[in-house]
Structures are given as C-alpha cells and as structure tokens.
Amino acid sequence: MGRYVLRRLLDLIPVFFGTTLLMYWLVWVMPGAPFAGKCGDRACPQGYIDKMTAKYHLDEPLPVQYAHYMADLLRGDFGETYGGRQVADIIVAAAPATAKLALVAILFEAVIGIAAGVLSGLRRNGFVDNVILVSTLFMLAVPIFVSAGALRHLFGVEWRLIDPTVSAGAPLHQLLLPGFLLASLSMAAVARLTRGSIAEIERADYVRTAHAKGLPRRRVVGVHMLRNSLLPVVTFLGLDLGGLMSGSVIIEGIFQINGLGAEFYRGVVTKEGATVVGLTVVVMLAYLILNLLVDLLYASLDPRIRLA
C-alpha cells in the first residue's frame, strides 16, 4: 500500500506542472491590454504600465514568466492582484463557502442518488423505476440556470420560505437549495449509475448463493449488493466533488454566494490573471487529492481489490 501511494504521489507531479503551465498560458495569452480599466475612465500613465509590467514579468518570455510564478507558488505565494491584494487571501476568504456548498451538494448526490438508484434497480420496469427514470431525465434536460432561477424566485421571493440570497459566512441552512440545485445533474447520473450496477450485480452468482442460504433480503442488498455496486459510484462522486467546486459559478452568481466561483468570474472579467491561475491551482489540487483518495477507498469497498 505504501509503495502504491508513493507511486501515485509521484504521478501527480507531471500532472501538476503540466496543468499549471497550460492554465498559465491560456490566461496570459488572452487578448487585450492587461491594465485596461485599472485607472478608472482615463488611460493609465505609461510609468504605471511600465512598473506593473516589470513587477509581473510581463516583458519577459512566457516560459520565464511561468518559472517566476512557479517559484513563488512552491513557496506558498499565489501572487497578488493588480490592486495589491494577495491572491492567497482571496482564496482563504472564498474557499469555505464553496467547500460547504460542494459538501452539501455531494451529500445530496450520495444520499438521494444512491437511494433512488437502489430502489430503481430492485424494482426495474415498475412504477417506482419509471418515476425515477423520468425524474432523472427531467433533471438532465433542464439547464441549471433555468431551474436555479425559477426555484429561487418561487421559494425565496413568492413564498418567502428561504432567503433569496446567501448571507456572509454561508450558513448551512441557506445552502440547502443551492446545494440541491448544484447536485441535480450529478444526482441524476448517480441514480442511473447505481441502478445499472444493482441490476448487473443482482444476477451475480454470489448474490444467488446468498439468497439460497436464506439470508434476509435486507442483508443481501445492504452487504453483498450495495457494497460492490458502489465502486463506480464512489469514483464518480470523488471526481465530481472537485467538479462541484469549479462548476459552482452559476449557482454562486444566482444566490450571491461569495465563493471561489464568484471570485473566478470576477477574475476573468477584470483580467486578473494571478487570481484566475491561483484559483485554478486550488481546484486542480482538489481533483488530484480526491482522485487518490478514491483509489484508496477501493480496497475497503471490495476485498478482492488489492493495491500493490
């Protein structure tokens, strides 16, 4: 196990450097002057432009710029915005809200998605199965900005059951509806994935043997079927948690949540390259770490798997 973890950690190194290089290149080759609009309505003085260009190494070749950035990043310095604000401070202030939103969403995915998939898989072609399949198809078909805007107006403005905007600090009770909406697409995918796994495993020899031995159906489903059917679901959930953190731009914008998604959008609009790259690095690290944790969970879910 130790050698496997070490090898996987070493595999993350080229992925880390390759991804950061790609994102750095994509951000800094965007068209337009990087300091446009930084001095209000008037054009920035040439002295200011020259000073900022030298400070951010924009007068040097892109590989040299990237080398400077990575040297600072490996020391824990994510850089600073053109306004002088540290990107690390932006990440520290915005990450808790996005992390809580992503955790609420992943809980909805896991609980509702797996439960719906199990019920659908055990009652294939029945009423429950058809209702779940139609519901998941509806979730996949409706764009998230449509459903989020409609439900926010209905529950927050018309019926006044929730706050239409999330207050500072993002309390958990205010994140229930945004988290459910953020999880809706993936929840449907989890339900369909679980349904397929349950339907396949139900025909396995060891399941028929468990039934023949007289084991209660609850034990057969909960221990023998559900545990083995969770392997593809755990893979999906682990990778989707990183996706939820990076894909929360729409939800955070609609509910005015000051998280990573909102900061990423502001960074793109204002052409704050250091902010965009820094936020991308954080999300990428979340992806890599969660991918490793998912692999380590395999052995505990299925004893037939041995990580060597």
Predicted pLDDT at 232: 83
Crossing angle of helices 114-122 and 176-201, rounded to 10°: 30
Question: What domains, with CATH codes, occur in the chain?
Answer: 2-74 (no CATH), 95-301 (1.10.3720.10)
Contacts 24+ apart (CB under 8 A), 57-65: 58/28, 58/34, 62/24, 62/25, 62/28, 62/29, 65/24, 65/28
CA distances from 51 to 29, 32, 45, 47, 66 (A): 20, 18, 10, 6, 19
pLDDT tens-place string over residues 138-187: 888 888 889 999 999 999 889 988 888 898 888 989 999 999 999 998 99
Question: How much is the pTM?
Answer: 0.84
**What is the average pLDDT across 269-292?**
84
State which amino acid sits at residue 280. Answer: T
Q: Average pLDDT of the chain?
A: 85
- Rounded Cα distance, 275 and 273, in Å: 5
- Quote the radius of gyration of the chain (alpha carbons, Å): 24
Crossing angle of helices 260-269 and 87-108, rounded to 10°: 130
Beta bridge partners of 86: 80
State which amino acid sits at residue 36. Answer: A
Helices and strands: H and E segment counts in the chain = 14, 0
- Rounded Cα distance, 128 and 114, in Å: 14
pLDDT tens-place string over residues 24-72: 888 777 666 677 667 777 778 888 888 888 888 888 888 898 899 899 9
Asked if pLDDT for residue 215 goes beyond 70, the answer is yes
- Which residue in 182, 220, 178, 179 sits closest to 198, CA to CA? 220
Contacts 24+ apart (CB under 8 A), 140-143: 140/185, 140/188, 140/189
